[in-house]
A and B are shown apart, each in its own frame.
Chain A
Amino acid sequence: MELNQLTIKDAHEGLVRRDYSSRELVQAALDGIKKLEPKLNAFITVSDEAALAQADKADKKIKRGEPLEAVTGLPIGIKDLLVTEGIRTTAGSKILERYQPVYTATAVDRLIKAGAVIVGKTNCDEFGMGASGENSAYGPTKNPWDLRRVPGGSSSGSAAAVASGECLLALGTDTGGSIRQPASFCNLVGLKPTYGRVSRYGLISLASSLDQIGIFTRTIEDCAAVLKIIAGQDPNDSTSVKKAVPNYSAEFESDPPTLRLGVPKEYFVPGMDPEVEQITRTAIKKLTELGFSVEEISLPHTPQALAVYYLILPAEASSNLARYDGIRYGLSVEAGAKTLDDVYKKSRKAGFGPEVKRRIMLGTYVLSAGYYDAYYRKAQQVRTLIIEDFQRAFERVDLIITPTSPTPAFALGEKYEDPLTMYLSDIFTVSANIAGLPGLSLPAGFAKGLPVGIQIMASHFQEDKILALAHAYQKETQYYKQTPKT
């Protein structure tokens, strides 16, 4: 088996058995990066020297026979929207091209403390605004399954890097589907945990009430192991929740628990790809055969979710991005500026890309006097109704099964010029962010050779149930064993 196609579990066991060293694993990842980056463009910054030094540290630990964590010595990628001390962090934007953070995001810090080795910072849509990776100021990332197609977004580089073996796992962020949709497009497991399960400290804010850090892996066991490490309360994020972190892997050895599954009728919409619908229905049938009870449910406010999302997101983003003013850090343009106000405007003009400007404008509009009640407050009210839909559903069922995205990976350029069509790509994933629920995308088959995932959602902090069901399904289907030829 090639070293850069290993699961975390296998790589860890290999290190313990001393079949290979951490240096060899990390070198294999760096070789993969060198070979594939001209085609994929999954990384913005590669930190090879620091990575090899970290690998040697891990190897010393192994030699001394010290206890290892699940990720010790393994090469990982970090979305460039998470700050890393000592490694430049751009958020996919020109405005942060030379930004050197003075601290590290808590989730990343926890992985480093567990001995993981960062090989680089992965490409993404600028500030996480996009569903294709094409909004990065550092060029689009390509899908390893088909280089003419997008890997999904906004965590485009994280998905492409894990799928192609440039690293063994990656962190991403998910504000409206930015982990789950690319996981679906790249045949990976992608988890957005419950809002508050993982600290957002050091996540460059897009929409603070929706953002969450999450995980890309090949398998469910790997996802569970990484979640155990990064989850938990953090004094630096007051929205992180003080709640014990369960041992998510504990249940995989025994038979799966009894779980009632719901399939919302509103998630099968006209216009969705017929093969995606077929794959989702086949997956649901498989779950029935595995002994889980399945019933149709209704989430009546689903058709309004995307509109709610595209009001709340730009509103929060326009205020979060006000901090990029060219004064304290980041790109600053003084040429031709007479006043401080001119510096703000010229710096932001030069530093932000078109989608960022579009969403700042939209957010400014919906928050401005006279429109606040009609747009922003209205969206927050419908948000309540969407949450109540889920509360009613979770009285009857434990988990909700849906498609992850209405289509498989689309072609580069196909939706770039039409923002509204691009936004529709998030239609099945935004509700979990609006309600703060955990959601996971899981490989479920292929449509004309392109990966397709299904989504599992649960009530707050019930990641354990999602992982138990996903594990039972994965055990039967094993789609993760198929890897791209790129």
Chain B
Amino acid sequence: MPKLKKNEIQHLANLAKLELTEEETKKFQGQLSSILDYVKTLSEVDTAKVEPTAQVTGQVGISRRDEIQKDARQKDILDQAPRREGKNYRVKAVFGK
């Protein structure tokens, strides 16, 4: 597999909400390409008639009653936030000016 291009790494970083340094971008070009090369070996396995597995112990559709439970920890949970106003989280503008 050809090495991932710099702009591909930057596009991925943007999707993953990561800001990368020049050095990281360069490093990931090589490292991600060699890991992807390694996992490519799977393409040799014939899986034409194989179902994918996501759950291994056969549990299906486990649900619980949709009941409101009282929880006294609201303040403790909100207190973890770096910035808030009352019961709301305070964030920067979603769109730039």
Asked if A38 is at the interface of the complex by the 8 Å CB criterion, the answer is no
Q: Mark B47-68, 1 if CB is under 8 A from A, else 0.
A: 1001111111101001110000
CB closest chain-A residue, reference B95: A339
In the complex the two chains form, is B18's CB within 8 Å of A348's CB?
Answer: yes
Instruction: List the one stretch of A26-34, A127-135, A143-151, A233-241 in contact with chain B.
Output: A233-241
A338 touching B50 by the CB < 8 A rule?
no
Residues of B within 8 A of A47 (CB): none
Residues A310 and B38 in contact in the complex (CB < 8 Å), given A358-B28, A378-B47, A383-B52: yes
| A346 interface neighbour in B19, B32, B77, B89, Cβ under 8 Å | B19
CB distance from B23 to the nearest CB of A (A): 10
Say yes or no: B91 contacts A327, CB within 8 Å: yes
In angstroms, Cα B73 to Cα A100, docked, is: 12
B24 touches A (CB below 8 Å): yes
| Chain B residue with the shortest CB-CB distance to A375 | B39
Closest Cβ of chain B: how far from A242's Cβ, in Å? 9
Cβ–Cβ contact A343 & B92, under 8 A: yes
B65's closest neighbor in chain A, by CB?
A235
- SS of B interface (majority): loop
Q: Does B7 contact A (CB under 8 A)?
A: no
Q: Report chain A residues within 8 Å CB of B77.
A: 102
Chain A residues closer than 8 Å to B45, beta-carbon distance: 301, 304, 378, 381-382, 385
| Contact yes or no, A357 B18, CB < 8 A | yes
Q: In whole angstroms, how far apart are the Cα atoms of A92 and B14 in the complex?
A: 25
Main SS class of interface, A: helix
Stretch from A69-77, A362-370, A447-455 that touches the partner: A362-370
> Which residues from B are CB-within-8-Å of A57?
none
Cβ B52 vs Cβ A381 within 8 A: yes
- A384-B53 contact, Cβ under 8 Å, with A318-B16, A340-B93, A343-B92: yes
- A250 contacts B by Cβ under 8 Å: no
Contact A420 B35 (CB under 8 A): yes
Given contacts A339-B93, A358-B28, A420-B34, contact A387 B42 (CB under 8 A): no
Report the minimum CB–CB distance from A402 to chain B (whole Å).
Answer: 19
The complex places the Cα of A470 from the Cα of B67 at a distance, in Å, of 45
Residue of A nearest to B90 (CB): A327
Q: Is A404 an interface residue (CB 8 A)?
A: no
A99 at interface by CB-CB < 8 Å: yes
Report B70 CB to chain A, min CB distance, Å.
Answer: 14
Contact with B along A96-123 (1 / 0, CB 8 A): 0001101100000000000000000000
Segment of A177-185, A270-278, A328-336 engaged in the interface with chain B: A328-336
A332 in contact with B82 (CB, 8 Å): yes
Partner of B59, one of A196, A304, A328, A358: A196
B76: which A residues are within 8 A, CB to CB? 100, 102
Contacts known (A102-B73, A308-B42, A384-B52); A235 close to B91, Cβ less than 8 A: no
Question: What residues of chain B lie closer than 8 Å to A343, measured between beta carbons?
Answer: 91-92
* Interface pair B53/A329, CB less than 8 Å apart: no
Counting CB contacts under 8 A, is A377 at the interface?
yes
**Contact present for A194 and B57 (CB under 8 Å):** yes
Q: Which residues of A contact B20 (CB under 8 A)?
A: 349, 357
Chain A positions within 8 Å of B, measured between CB atoms, are: 99-100, 102-103, 194-196, 209, 235, 238-239, 241, 301, 303-304, 307-308, 310-311, 318, 322, 325-330, 332, 334, 337-346, 348-349, 352, 354, 357-358, 360-362, 364-365, 368, 374-375, 377-385, 387, 419-420, 423, 434-436, 460
A-B contact pairs, 27 of them (CB 8 A): A102-B73, A209-B55, A235-B64, A238-B59, A239-B55, A325-B17, A327-B81, A328-B89, A332-B83, A338-B93, A339-B93, A342-B92, A343-B92, A345-B19, A346-B19, A357-B24, A361-B18, A361-B32, A364-B12, A377-B52, A378-B42, A378-B43, A380-B52, A419-B31, A435-B56, A460-B56, A460-B57
Extra contacts, 8 of them, besides A361-B28, A378-B43 (Cβ < 8 A), are A301-B45, A334-B82, A339-B96, A340-B91, A342-B92, A364-B15, A419-B35, A420-B38
Which A-B residue pairs are the 8 nearest by beta carbons?
A436-B56, A380-B52, A329-B80, A332-B82, A381-B47, A238-B62, A349-B19, A345-B19
